[in-house]
Structure 1
Amino acid sequence: MNKRLDNKRRVLKKGESQYKDGRYAFRMMIDGKTRIIVARTLTELRKKEKELFDKMEEGIDLDKQDVTLNALADKYIAAKAKTVQKTTLQTMTFMYDRYVRDNIGTKKVSELKRSHVKDFYLTLISGSKGISISTLSRLNTIVKPILEMAINDDIIVKNPAKDVMSEIKNEAGYVPNKKPALTEEQQDAFLKYVKSSKKHAMIKNLIIFLLGTGCRIGEAVAIRWDDIDFDSNMIYINHAVAYIKEDGKYKQFIKDPKSYAGNRKIPMLSDVRDALLGEKYRQEDLGIVSPTIDGYTNFAFVSLRGTIYTRDNICLQIKQIVSEYNEEHENNKLPVFTTHQLRHTFATRLCRGSDDLKAIQSILGHADISTTMNIYADATSEGVIESMESLEGKIFKKDDDI
């Protein structure tokens, strides 16, 4: 039997051939379909042949090798739409469309390498307009599971996004920017100023509620009088207010708590009880009428306009209060903080006062005990430092005192 040769008198293997223009081709019947590989050189062709055989050996689906990251993302997001909350879905879609879709999203998943993902991530965080590493981390929590789905669908064998984020963080010397809780002195100064200010009387009770319950802002503004039991001094958290963008406008809607653990009851501190009763009497005196959102009404915290407060509105008012306070207290200024730092402040005080992690987890509504443990570790470590500082000069006396 005569052996087939190319134009350089090299022996061609079974299935290999050479076109008149000098290019090489390999044909093979796989699962009833003819697969054709074309290359400019024989060396390149045989490299592609090996890649084909390797994919077959690894169980890769050859019919899905042209699937792009965008196509997989659409499939992933459509599946998530059935399980995640509307706000989560909107954030996921927004971030993918803004950063990925017109960039690496157009590439075939089968051709994506780890270096491609890393280079893409580095491009996103570089330059004066680059995104922060924390934002990139959130984006990675979308891209990585999409590529994981590609493994499950037999498109690829390894996830090209695996460990890329941790590598970038290590190389950048990234340290998470934790927003600290208020110190007891800062908390006391802030509360004293708010309570004495007629200008900010409208949100005084809401701030006391946030500091005294540790509720997330969406949970706090969603509290109804129906969720408060003054007889048993108990507050029931079973829903939250969130926002979704529709037709270019933000719309309020009622959603379930962040997780199953978010459904909880919180014992009422006396200061919180007084603030709630004060808010109830104030609204009755002013004739404030509660709005209705998705069938929910009788909200505890309502503005003079008959609307519930938004997170941005509360954060803006807190910023104004801090600014006014700092103008009057040049030598003892307060830091600018967010509503979430009020929750963190409550959590820190709670951890300092109790070592019952399960109870703390329940009050804060954490689904994962590790979140509670991290806060507890931070709070108690600060307490250790303060305790040691309080001993300064009390154990070892100065020579003059001996």
Structure 2
Amino acid sequence: MAINKIESTQKKNYVECGIKFNKKSNGYYKAIIYVPYKCDLTKPKKRYELSATTVLDMREKIRNFMALSNKCDINLLFQGTLKEYALIWLSKKKEIAVKKGKIAGYQRTEYSFTKYILPKLGSINLIDFTPIILQSFINEYGSHFSKSSTDKVVTPIKQLFADAYESNQIPSNPALFLHGLNNQHYGIETKQVFSLTKEVQEKFESVCKSTFANGHLKYRLGYAYILLLNTGLRRGELLALQWKDIDFNKKQLYVNKAVVAQYEHNSVTEVLEKPKTKNSVRTIPLNNKAIDALMHLKELNKNSKWVVSTKNKQNISLDVFSSLLQKLQRKNNLPLFGAHVLRHTFATRLYEKGVRIDIISKLLGHSSTRSTYRYVHTSNEVLHEYMSKAILYNTEIELDE
């Protein structure tokens, strides 16, 4: 395809794919390209202007433009802003989510766009995005928010641009290699902690039970974390527990609801709902540590219907529960881990004691033991312990000649 270039009047010219561009007085780099209209040489050529803030960005824009113009697809590109495209994209996502009954996932995506992404990037034309623009936004966002929050913004951005590229709305996918900040930025070890070692667990439990000189607990939620360790409850299930769900006589508790976050536009609300699956509705026997934790929580939360509550007898939000856990860890030089690690640790300790995987699966509320196997993490210490007890025959292996 023939493509004409406008000769630059500037002293310094750059060239990419045969297209000249230069830096203007306003600091932007600019190139003007003429292409045949929808590959019909009998019609007037169409004029396109490309601009960028850096030479690298301009080179990439020209390469992307040329790739599509050679396919005669240039006129099929989306000629609008990210906000305009996102509204269309979200509408389609919502239709699919409603049909599949997965509206919660859609609400999280919509929340990320309306609250964080579109206010910063919404006015930029969809075809003008480059990897540098997107990664710079994520780097800035990640400097103010946690790793998990940043990842929740990265994911919908990657989804939108992947869909736009597959439907030929953009010449290339600028979010292909988009990533959140690495673990070191947040002071987290690269290797994630999946279950606590026995040594760390003992220290953690000791910290949770610690008191001031007057006998008052240092950490109001300390025994709530111990209860998680000894029941394998999910965070939302624990925060939904009411005293009517506890049977001290039979030494068991009933799981029949959970606190879940609902995302709508740019706000988040927490509601009580039925557990995520029918297997999540279950009865959990209580060991002595769990009963002791419940007795302390009963004393701490007098006149509250919630097992875990604030001083004002209100239920505690998911985020507050997790942030107070991290505060406890930082103050006591413990490794940083989320509340879900306590659930993994519960499963691992049972597995190490020889409890069958199908029993552990029922206690965790899993629909399949395949999920449960991901929750058990045997440490090297346990492996050495088992090997030291094992009787090994034929320690010398002879190979047949």
The aligned amino acid for 2:271 is F
What does 1:137-286 align with in structure 2 at a 5 Å threshold? 137-151=151-165, 153-156=167-170, 159-162=173-176, 164-165=177-178, 176-179=190-193, 181-192=195-206, 194-195=208-209, 197=211, 198-200=215-217, 203=221, 205-228=223-246, 234-242=252-260, 252-257=270-275, 259-260=276-277, 263-271=280-288, 274-275=291-292, 278=295, 282=299, 286=302
Partner of 1:278: helix, strand, or coil? helix
Q: Within the alignment, does 1:66 sit opposite 2:79 as a pair?
A: yes
The aligned amino acid for 1:339 is A
Q: Deviations over 1:272-312 (max 9, x none)?
A: 6624763686489x4x043xxxxxxxx33344522123345
**Contact 1:124–1:131, Cα closer than 8 Å, also in 2:** no
Q: Deviations over 1:215-242 (max 9, x none)?
A: 2222201013454466775544343224
Structure 1 residues without counterparts, runs of 5 or longer: 1-5, 7-21, 41-46, 291-298, 327-332, 392-402
Corresponding residue number in structure 2 for 1:307: 314
What does 1:25-104 align with in structure 2 at a 5 Å threshold? 26-27=36-37, 37-38=46-47, 51-52=68-69, 54-55=71-72, 62=75, 65-78=78-91, 79-80=93-94, 82=98, 84=102, 89-90=107-108, 93-94=111-112, 97-99=115-117, 102-103=120-121
Corresponding residue number in structure 1 for 2:54: none
**Contact 1:215–1:343, Cα closer than 8 Å, also in 2:** yes
The aligned amino acid for 2:286 is L
Q: Deviations over 1:242-292 (max 9, x none)?
A: 4569999975422454x43772425313226624763686489x4x043xx
**Contact 1:23–1:39, Cα closer than 8 Å, also in 2:** yes
Equivalent residue pairs, number: 332
**C-alpha displacement of 1:316:** 6.4
What is the aligned counterpart of 1:125 among 136, 139, 142?
Answer: 139
Corresponding residue number in structure 2 for 1:16: none
Q: Which has the larger radius of gyration?
A: 1
**Contact 1:37–1:49, Cα closer than 8 Å, also in 2:** no
Question: TM (normalized to structure 2)?
Answer: 0.59
Q: Equivalents in 2 of 1:280, 1:117: separation in Å?
A: 50
Q: Deviations over 1:186-216 (max 9, x none)?
A: 4334435655744129645423321112222
Report the CA distance shift for 1:268/1:247 in structure 2 as closer, same or farther (over 3 A).
Answer: same
**C-alpha displacement of 1:142:** 0.8
Identity of aligned residues (%): 21
**Contact 1:96–1:139, Cα closer than 8 Å, also in 2:** no
Q: Equivalents in 1 of 2:194, 2:292: separation in Å?
A: 25
Q: Equivalents in 2 of 1:194, 1:306: separation in Å?
A: 20
Q: Deviations over 1:157-178 (max 9, x none)?
A: 865434x147997xx9x97451
**C-alpha displacement of 1:38:** 2.6
Q: Deviations over 1:342-369 (max 9, x none)?
A: 3333233234335755554554356797
Q: Deviations over 1:32-61 (max 9, x none)?
A: xx8962369xxxxxx9898457255xxx9x
The aligned amino acid for 1:117 is P
Of 207-216 and 347-356, more deviation after overlay is shown by 347-356
- Once superposed, what is the RMSD of the aligned Cα atoms? 5.3
Q: Deviations over 1:114-150 (max 9, x none)?
A: xx23663266338994877766544331112212332
Judging by fraction of residues, say which structure has more helix: 1
Q: Equivalents in 1 of 2:337, 2:238: separation in Å?
A: 17
Question: TM (normalized to structure 1)?
Answer: 0.59
Partner of 1:54: helix, strand, or coil? coil
What does 1:379-394 align with in structure 2 at a 5 Å threshold? 379-384=377-382, 387=385
Q: Deviations over 1:79-131 (max 9, x none)?
A: 3475556697357534675356533872324x65xxx2366326633899487
Q: Equivalents in 1 of 2:300, 2:139: separation in Å?
A: 48
**C-alpha displacement of 1:380:** 1.5
Partner of 1:253: helix, strand, or coil? strand
Corresponding residue number in structure 1 for 2:57: none
Q: Equivalents in 2 of 1:190, 1:48: separation in Å?
A: 57
Report the CA distance shift for 1:212/1:388 in structure 2 as closer, same or farther (over 3 A).
Answer: closer
Structure 2 residues without counterparts, runs of 5 or longer: 5-31, 50-63, 390-401
Report the CA distance shift for 1:75/1:248 in structure 2 as closer, same or farther (over 3 A).
Answer: closer
